[in-house]
Amino acid sequence: MRRPLIAGNWKMYNNVSETLVFFDNFIKLVENLEGVEVAIFPPFTSLWEAAKKTAGTKIKIGAQNVHWEEKGAFTGEISPNMLKEIPCEYVIIGHSERRQYFAESDETVNKKVRAVLKHGIKPVICVGENLKEREENLTLKVVLPQVRKALADVELLSGEEIVFAYEPIWAIGTGKVATPEDAQEVIKNIRKEIETLYNKNIAENVRILYGGSVKPDNIKALMQERDIDGVLVGGASVDPQSFYKICAYKEQGVE
């Protein structure tokens, strides 16, 4: 049984002092929460304080990006070793904003996935289509090649080493949300693709999240779908009360 993962991507929000205030409130809210895994992805400048603040709690910390090299003359970049030292358990790779604004490609996504796995860091690999591709019924023709290229030459022992996040680009920060049925259909096909690349057991162990304007009022419907194993939350994760309501979806009647 895959354990649901509720992940909060803060993007370029919350400086160090705001991060500390967030956790002062959020840790108390989730301390008795059962049955889900909670991970938060602060900006690089807040990672160290976030990790210290959440030490000994159930909350996992992740980074929003990483470079594939161990060290070197790569001004402004952060290596897997540096993330491991913090420590970060997760790192987001290939987010649509990284692809759109910072020239992230399927090839660099694959390099980063292979690099972080060597250090025992779990990649949250983002895939998704834009609105034009959606309207032209090209979703699977866009998303499944992204899955294949991300996993090129990647050896998986159980499938638990990685996480995928299906993020329809047209739903990120727009208020638009893929229907639970549409999200389920794409995520089901991602799982089938992983089975083709590896085997059924590995495919069944990989957690696949949905991301795109997730809020407290739509989390329950999303989590009722068989293949949706959690969510990657953007704006709603910056506020502790809002994010807690998403994390506590089971207490709202969803099993």
Q: Where in the sequence numbering do the catalytic residues fall?
A: 95, 167
Q: Give dist(CA 66, CA 8) in Å, integer.
A: 17
Q: Which residues fall within 8 angstroms of residue 137, CB to CB, at 6 or more apart?
A: none
Spatial separation of the C-alpha atoms in residues 175 and 67, rounded to whole Å? 31
Residues 6+ positions from 231 with CB-CB distance below 8 Å: 6, 7, 209, 210, 211, 214, 219, 222, 223, 246
Place of tokens 């996040």: 165
SS3 content of the chain, % helix, strand, coil (to 5): 45, 15, 40
Neighbours of 180 (CB within 10 A): 17
The whole-angstrom separation of Cα 175 and Cα 133 is 19
Name the strand (E) or helix (H) holding 29: helix 16-30
Q: Residue 138, Cα to own-chain centre: how many angstroms? A: 23
Report the C-alpha gap between 255 and 253 in whole angstroms: 6
Name every residue whose Cβ is closer than 8 Å to that of residue 57 and which is 6 or more positions away in sequence. Answer: 27, 30, 31
Count of H helices and E strands in the chain?
Answer: 11, 8
